[in-house]
A and B are shown apart, each in its own frame.
Chain A
């Protein structure tokens, strides 16, 4: 445990001092992107890992936050109004998604969330008079919380880092709370939970709202970072990438999605300079992980390394589905 805590502390220090030793604006920006995508991935993991519900529509929630904020800002409202409205809209949308999709679990849930995501994308893409369609919506400025100007990469990085820490803290609280335990309960033994008197549907519903809220916050960071939003971010590919982040990092831990986000963002942005076809690389990684390391990249690699070192008498854990066997802590 101490080794883990030390690594965590070291990582925190590294992240906190990043702009000091990583001078290039380009790489600071990459770090910022990793952090807000990590929030989105962690939010998705609330459903995928902890509630056992795989959603392919979360890009819709991500995008709703971005669009509501961008459109309100364009209409002349101030940042507080835009941010608040965006979050309210996202939670309302999450509630709608939840009501419709929780009629099912497993593949049914997946299909319904996929459809909902597509509907939201369709509106963003074709309802041009509302959303400006393909042209997207430009955002003129970033907010100035407590008077701090966020227009430079460094200052925006710190704002994102602060939000990230808050998100991780909230996630930790959620996981360790009785509510978190009941969510895991609905994942593992829904019928038994029901018998014990837990309102399974309500628990899942609230988990969905929690997930949606943080997805929305990540979406806001996204739109302020890019100062631009377009239908692309709502597309199926985007939802698939978010899911990939969760699965690549591993659903078993709080930090798994963070690692997954880092992997995907780095491949997209940095590797793309050296490898022209990075989508292919992403897909191959995805396939390898699903087949050989379904519990995620880090846990999987650790397991493979450990079994490589141990003698043959130790049984190798069978590659179990990441979804149904999530975190126990």
Chain B
């Protein structure tokens, strides 16, 4: 028994030695995808995989002259799983770049480890501090920080929708906390009041008890992610709240969710960094391919991964297809600045976070189908909104209790 085990383990150890030692130019570069295929966030995780697979298919698995291969890992949508899978990808599969993970709390659990291992990571996870107060030098984020879209949403809510008293509701995890905090800061700085903050757990079968707590408000802001928005918006309508304007972050009304929604989604506002009817050549190709292969409109998760692929391609073009020099690869990734992408033009700030357009949309039915129509575009939105960057970074990170909610009513 002992002999068998040793041989098995030694054999695999030798195999892993061989892989790490010889990274010949002909061996494909390896991209490790940390995605979620189980649980409420699986909705987004599946799309992430679809997005990158679509991109690689379009480019025939060759980026910047180098063949690439994709290794997918299911984190289960929780930090412990993310840690385990990150270790597998880095230590066992020896990937050159990691794309993902999906959720903020997953990224927070692995960011130190990945930075120590010096593996470039392109994440859609919105955890604010990873590009603010504890920046990860090996990270770029082409999607948005948690609050990046919520700042303009709050601006729109005050200035155009003229809302004054709002309730917020989002899942009780990092992404939810940060979105709501960002919305609250801009909303209250412009004179509005957040009078109630509700935090259902990530897995909530039934939102009714929470919706019952909303009370008398002018509007509601929701930060739900994954498939939770579907349940929430339906319950919201079922309980007769359609007259109260509902606003949301980008995950709450992602274009990919529209297929599973009905009339309850009409009239809901959201702020997103991506829209499926944005008119750029790459987006047109991307949307067509997604409709053909998966019969669904792409949303932020798949677009984000497509764009991540574009970033890798641009970086590989600069390094001549080489991935061994991680520092050089990372510098090339940070310097990426593209115009023809599914989200339009963007570049990265010095902390690795994207600066690009944010669109305010309203859901309506056109020709029998639900669409999110763009009603306003904010250009060059950074993670700091209109605040002074230095001031912003001296403030504590957005959290469940920061900025403190001074206007809560019982």
Contacts and interface: CB of A to CB of B under 8 A. Distances in A.
Q: In the complex, is A directly touching B at CB under 8 Å? A: yes
A232 B78 contact: yes
Given A135-B79, A138-B108, A27 B9 contact: yes
B10 A24 contact: no
Interface in B1-18: 1-2, 6, 9-10, 12-13, 16-17
Nearest to A298: B1
Interface residues of B, number: 31
A14 B5 CA distance: 10
Contacts of A179: none
A275 B83 CA distance: 19
A29 B87 contact: yes
Nearest to A134: B173
Interface stretch (A52-60, A73-81, A125-133): A125-133
B105 A136 contact: yes
Interface residues of A, number: 29
Interface in B127-176: 172-174
B49 to A, nearest CB: 14
Nearest to A129: B400
Contacts, number: 80
B79 A273 contact: no
A11 B12 CA distance: 19
Given A138-B108, A230-B78, A232-B78, A133 B172 contact: yes
Given A27-B9, A134-B202, A135-B174, A230 B87 contact: no
Interface in A226-260: 226-228, 230, 232-233
Interface in A34-88: none
Contacts of A133: 172-173, 201
Given A10-B2, A134-B105, A233 B80 contact: yes
Nearest to B76: A232
A226 B80 contact: yes
A228 B12 contact: no
A11 B79 CA distance: 34
B199 interface: yes
Interface string A132-147: 0111101000000000
Contact of A135 (B84, B87, B105): B105
A126 B83 CA distance: 22
B238 interface: no
Interface in B67-81: 78-81
14 contacts: A7-B2, A23-B13, A24-B16, A24-B91, A24-B92, A29-B91, A128-B400, A135-B79, A135-B108, A136-B109, A226-B80, A226-B83, A228-B109, A233-B80
The 7 closest A-B pairs by CB, nearest first: A26-B91, A26-B92, A24-B16, A134-B173, A135-B105, A136-B79, A25-B91
